[in-house]
Amino acid sequence: MLLVIDVGNTNITIGLYEGKGIKCHFRMTTQLPRTSDEYGIMLTELIEHHGFGVGDVSGVIIASVVPNVMYSLTSSIVKYFNTEPLIVGPGTKTGIRIDTTNPREIGPDRIVDAVAAYEIYGGPILVLDFGTATTYDLVTEEGHFVAGITAPGIRISAKALWEGTAKLPEIEIVKPISILAQDTITSMQAGLMFGQIGQTEYIIRQVKKEAGLKDMKVVATGGLGRIISDETDLIDEYNADLTLEGLRIIYGKNR
């Protein structure tokens, strides 16, 4: 079985695959610092909780945007799973070509999402990931990663709102019934959610216009991606497991 690990700024998302089928997935916080033993024990217990064992894992692949966790995490894989993990980075076979000014600047998480979207849906395609940051990445019909847009994620925007003001409270991030808010909490929710929907639709339209790709497919992933995708007809697909699927695909290309 293949263990795939996506280390994000907020959460570490883990999936366990048998062939092309995902058997289970779970999350832990991207907490600093943790020792290799803490990672190893947590991963072992989570896998066993879902009815599998360490001995079932024959391969591991990791994509990370948090360098400081990598030493302990990779050490835990070697120690507890007796295997050397494949780390997505320069030199990793992905099946797509990075045609940007500095390809090494493109985060491995974005490359993984792009690989999955292109392999599953084909190109041209715009890949949206609603994570700590909200990213929009364009892959052409030929499989070339040619452009990327980065915006603050919804939670970052919300945190800035209540931490940067004296009287605004911390709120639950949900879409209110109406944009015509009549109290402080609803007004914040309206600004955050309808603002994100508006930003999303504008960026999609502008990418289609400037790239000359009117019929380009748009796929979204990420924690709050479903909420946004449900509110606009400009997003064609929502795939919660897109990043995990990309890791599985990349591992297969590098075996």
Residue (of 40, 124, 114, 125) closest to 74 by Cα position: 40
| DSSP string of 231-255, one letter each residue | T-TT--EE-TTHHHHHHHHHHHHH-
Q: In what order do the strands lie in the sheet with 133-139?
A: 97-98, 144-152, 133-139, 125-130, 217-221, 237-238
109 assigned to active site:
yes
Residue 68 contacts residue 82 (beta carbons within 8 Å): no
Q: How far apart are CA 61 and CA 66, in angstroms?
A: 15
- For residue 11, give the H/E element and its range: strand 11-18
Considering 6, 99, 109, 215, which one is annotated as catalytic? 109
Retrieve residue 184's tokens: 């402080």
Burial of 116 (0-12, 13-18, 19+ CB in 10 A): buried
Structure tokens at 189: 């929710």
Could you give the residue numbers annotated as active site?
A: 109
